[in-house]
A = this chain, B = another copy of it.
Amino acid sequence: MNPHAFPDQQIAGVYRAIRERRDVRHFKPGPLEDGQLARFIAAAHNGPSVGLMQPWRFIRIASSELRKQIHQHVNEERILTAQALGKRADEFMLLKVEGILSCAEVLVVGMIDKRDDFVFGRRTMPEMDLASAACALQNFWLAARAEGIGAGWVSMFDPKQLRALCGMPDGSQPIAVLCVGQVEQFYTAPMLELERWDTRRPLADILYEDSWDNPGSLST
């Protein structure tokens, strides 16, 4: 018996949030409950960070004019993405890729400038700042899912242009337009699976042993 294990219902909650979390693009009207956004951001701030650098910052978009500008920029980038996709362009254009105008809250998430001041765990792996911020966002996502709130991470933007829209300093780096809000229902599987964009790979495909491409085993 492991004394550090959570009670069964708590463990079930963790696995359920992991399994039922979705990248949400379809929201229904209605605000978040009072305190929810603060809990989700606090959950993110409990994320791990290399050398404890805590690189993440959250810009809550309160101005509806700014929200519209962000939406317009994302839509422009969506068209450029379609063009870059070539033969899958038409298929792509049918997908809903964001819910910026319909969600309750939009957050632009960015990393601080002057990140090169942080060396711990980053000397050869400077991109660990992004890994840390992504883990923080996964916390946000799971906390929201547990409370029945949808979140969608939009990365379809030009960082320079989004930086300008949000008055972000040189050297800072936007990584997400995060859409958060009430949903009619959570997708039963990732939307890109439901829409047959791609399929989930079997677990055996992602596991190796000692060397790349050498099939792995999980028996102990």
Contact = CB atoms under 8 A, between A and B. Distances in A.
Given A10-B16, A52-B193, A192-B52, A128 B143 contact: no
A159 to B, nearest CB: 7
Given A135-B135, A206-B58, A16 B6 contact: yes
Interface string A184-220: 0110001011000111110100111111111011111
Interface string A123-140: 111011011111101110
Nearest to A4: B148
A131 B128 contact: no
B13 A11 contact: yes
Contacts of A110: 212
Interface centre among A66, A132, A208 (most CB of B within 10 A): A208
Contact of A52 (B41, B60, B182, B198): B198
Interface centre among A12, A182, A186 (most CB of B within 10 A): A12
Contact of A206 (B43, B56, B168): B56
A6 to B, nearest CB: 5
A26 to B, nearest CB: 13
A70 to B, nearest CB: 11
Contact of A155 (B81, B122, B155, B213): B122
Interface residues of A, number: 120
Contacts of A159: 124-125
Contacts of A125: 155-157, 159, 175
Contacts of A81: 119-121, 123
Contacts of A130: 127, 130-131, 134
A208 B172 contact: no
Contact of A51 (B62, B134, B198): B198
Contacts of A148: 2-6
CB-based closest 3 A-B pairs: A10-B13, A4-B148, A13-B13
